[in-house]
Structure 1
Amino acid sequence: MPEHVPFLVWFGVVLPAVLILACAVGLAGYRFGLRFEIRRRPQTPVLRALPSQPGSGSGPHREYVELSPAERDAFAGLVRRLGDGR
């Protein structure tokens, strides 16, 4: 180490270089799928707070409301206006 360069200057050069190298190794591992962690058997997540859902189609009861002719005409007019972009 040269005499005229203080220790903190070397520290200021070496520390960022080491950090950049560590980030490059980490990103390369992420990019190329390298595994640096300990292998564990996969576990399926279980949400115990939610009740189990029985088969599909178990949603709420569908409601149907009969519209009067005036309401049907008003709805058709609204759909036409929205379709025209006004």
Structure 2
Amino acid sequence: MPEHVSILQWAGVAVLALAAVAWVTGLSRMLRRGGIEAPAAGPRPGPTALPALPRQRQAGPDRESVELTPAEKDAFAGLVRQLAEGR
């Protein structure tokens, strides 16, 4: 054991090594339990929904539109002209 390395540093290395081994062991067990293995020959199952995500709508929201009055159209055209000149 080198003289310039303290006992606390060695203990820290040992704790980190044990934590890494525990993490790898837990991860491998979790993957084996979850059924994430190479599938055997045969048809692939269809996609499954993730339980933590809410169901997604099949279609987007309905489109909304509002007719502008002639005064509003003129005001919008003026605004567009002002923004184009500001470049």
Shorter-chain TM-score: what band? 0.3 to 0.5
TM-score w.r.t. the length of structure 1 is 0.44
Please report the TM-score for the alignment, with normalisation by the length of structure 2: 0.43
For the pair shown, the structure with the greater C-alpha radius of gyration is 1
